[in-house]
Amino acid sequence: MVAGRVGEGDGYGGYRTRLVETLQQKGIRDLAVLRAIGTVPRHLFVPESVRHRAYDDVALPIGGGQTISQPWVQARYLELAALTGRERVLEVGGGSGYQTALLALLSDAVFAIERIPSLAHAARAALEASGIRNVTVLVGDGTLGWRPFAPYDAVLVAAASPEIPGPLVEQLAPGGRLIIPLGDRNAQVLTVAQRVGPDVRTSTVADVRFVPLLGEFGFR
């Protein structure tokens, strides 16, 4: 958990407050999640060319053919993760680093994996400029997870996969939650998997559309 300061007094507070109100109107209830969105300077995580839209509830291009997800989707993810501030979190598909920043405020430590080095580089810079320190951005194939830091209390996958990558289940702590869009390249269902003893229980939440998870246990 990061104390105070992040995003404070940067002149964008009014825009963040409006975004928070929009998300509340669209059904987001978790106060910790809303507080995090009201705190993180999203404009630092998007390219200059789309900065004027940083606090709109829309997906935006971040380069490399990738997108930063719509804030409403990110807020739903975070509600589903039900974080208490004590978790060790793995994020697959770190992209812009914005979701990483939100996770950093809601958990103890975040490990984000991104396969495109230039995005990982920009994400690290934006996280540092935001004053967020309890994060590690790694470059690699996130479908393999990241064994040295496992197990994770929560795993959030921000790209669409045909099935749940096996290594991510293996690296999930008992009782831990994994959130992933499952489906084909065009349409997916947001799915929550929970590790209960030796079993994995899944439930589905909503229809979504994400960029593909490209890797050994995702799309080839």
Question: Which residues on neighbouring strands pair with residue 90, listed in sequence order?
Answer: 111, 155
Min dist CB 96 to ligand SAH, Å, is 3
Q: How far is CA 220 from CA 43, 101, 216, in A?
A: 32, 29, 7
Among 69, 107, 130, 188, binds ligand SAH (CB under 6 A): 69
Within 13 Å, how many C-alpha atoms sit on residue 193's CB side?
A: 24
Among 159, 182, 190, 208, binds ligand SAH (CB under 6 A): 159
171 forms part of the interface with ligand SAH (CB under 6 A): no
Min dist CB 179 to ligand SAH, Å, is 12
The CA radius of gyration of the chain, in Å to the nearest whole number, is: 16
8 A C-beta contact, residue 98 and residue 74? yes
Residue listed under structure tokens 């999640």: 33
191 forms part of the interface with ligand SAH (CB under 6 A): no
Cβ neighbours of residue 180 closer than 8 Å, sequence gap 6 or more: 155, 156, 157, 161, 164, 168, 190, 191, 193
Among 23, 28, 40, 68, binds ligand SAH (CB under 6 A): 68
Among 90, 113, 164, 190, binds ligand SAH (CB under 6 A): 113
**C-alpha closest to that of 67 among 43, 96, 98:** 96
8 A C-beta contact, residue 193 and residue 171? no
67 forms part of the interface with ligand SAH (CB under 6 A): yes
Among 30, 87, 114, 153, binds ligand SAH (CB under 6 A): 114
Q: Which is nearer to ligand SAH, 118 or 203 (CB)?
A: 118
Q: Is 24 helix (H, G, I), strand (E, B) or coil?
A: helix
Q: Which is nearer to ligand SAH, 44 or 62 (CB)?
A: 62
Q: Which residues are catalytic?
A: 69
119 forms part of the interface with ligand SAH (CB under 6 A): yes
Q: Where are the alpha helices (DSSP H) in the chain?
A: 13-25, 31-37, 71-81, 98-106, 117-129, 166-170
190 forms part of the interface with ligand SAH (CB under 6 A): no
Among 7, 41, 93, 183, binds ligand SAH (CB under 6 A): 93
Footprint on this chain of ligand SAH (rule: CB under 6 A):
62, 66-69, 92-93, 95-96, 98-99, 113-116, 119, 141-143, 158-159, 211, 213-215, 218
